[in-house]
Amino acid sequence: MVDASPPRKQLSTFIAKYDTKVARIARAALIKMRKRLPGAVALIYDNYNALAIAFGPSERVSEAVFSLALYPRWVSLFFVRGADLPDPKGLLKGAGTRIRHIVLKGAADLDHPDIRVLMKLAMSLAPVRIVPSRRGKLVIKSISARQRPRRVV
């Protein structure tokens, strides 16, 4: 059955499945990301392992620059082309060929000067730029029928 409610309401429902701490961090991080990325399209994937919210200039996932991912115990900020970023302070985690991430202890981590620098660099290296003057939107891309538990058991 397809949910006909607005994307913002669906996202709120997805986040509410998580423990209070994770949900609180996610909501606050989303507010900060929307302010920092006016004009971004937020693509929502309620997947088997996690709830992922990708931010990019269009509805094409291949153009995403960042994503927030909610797991039962934490929220991570992913840099889609993080392997290309200089990271002299070793903040970015991961060993894949493209993606790197930072586990957020709180949404305030997004205001840390070193993370702001990494985000600014990621934006400057993006092949397609997010146009701040455009109106951003929220798009539900997929909802997995089967999901791992969203709360720590």
pLDDT digits (tens, 9 = 90+) for 13-47: 999 999 999 999 999 999 999 999 999 999 999 99
Residues 91, 115: contact at Cβ < 8 Å?
Answer: yes
Q: 143 forms bridges with which residues in the sheet?
A: 46
| Residue 128 belongs to a domain | yes
Alpha-carbon Rg for the chain in angstroms? 15
Per-residue pLDDT at 103: 98
| Residue 89 belongs to a domain | yes
| Residue 56 belongs to a domain | yes
Per-residue pLDDT at 152: 85
Residue 78 C-alpha from the chain's centroid: 7
Distance (Å, whole) CA 1 – CA 21: 30
| Residue 1 belongs to a domain | no
Q: What is the pTM of this model?
A: 0.93
What is the domain range of residue 101?
A: 7-142
Per-residue pLDDT at 116: 97
The tally of domains found in the chain comes to 1
Could you state, in chain order, the average pLDDT of each consecutive group of 10 residues for the chain (153 residues)?
A: 79 97 98 96 96 97 97 97 95 96 98 97 95 93 92 83
Per-residue pLDDT at 153: 73
Per-residue pLDDT at 70: 98
Which residue carries 């994503």 as its tokens?
67
| Residue 68 belongs to a domain | yes
| Residue 44 belongs to a domain | yes
| Residue 147 belongs to a domain | no
